[in-house]
Amino acid sequence: MSTKNTATLDLNQAWRVHPQVSIRPEPFGALLYHFGTRKLSFLKDRRLLEIVQVLSDYPTARQACDVIGVSEAELPQFQRALATLRDSQMLIEESA
């Protein structure tokens, strides 16, 4: 596993939720809890939750964003949010 300390995530790579992460939908978005690191993350955007939930269904994060309806103008915002989840080990790169 490689840890990247950049503010962006490669949208042309495959990503998935870490197997030790539990997602609990809430009215405001969702709670993500990592049982290994004991970290808790809050998703305050329902579309970000939808992206996270379908990431492993698509060969790239960009395709997952497209399916959820993220526009090109909104893409950088979601890319940063996904990078934050990656940096907190909630997301991991899908093995080739």
Half-sphere exposure of 53 (CA within 13 A, CB side): 15
Alpha carbon 81 to chain centroid, angstroms: 7
**What is the predicted pLDDT for the residue at 33?**
97
Range 44-60 average pLDDT: 96
Write down all domains in the chain, each with its CATH number in brackets. 15-90 (3.90.930)
8 pLDDT band, cuts 50/70/90, is: confident
Q: Give dist(CA 18, CA 16) in Å, integer.
A: 6
40: Cβ contacts below 8 Å, ≥ 6 apart = 31, 32, 33, 34
Torsion, Cα 5 6 9 15, to 10 degrees, reads 0
**What is the predicted pLDDT for the residue at 95?**
76
Range 8-34 average pLDDT: 95
**What is the predicted pLDDT for the residue at 2?**
43
Q: Give the predicted TM-score (pTM) of the model.
A: 0.88
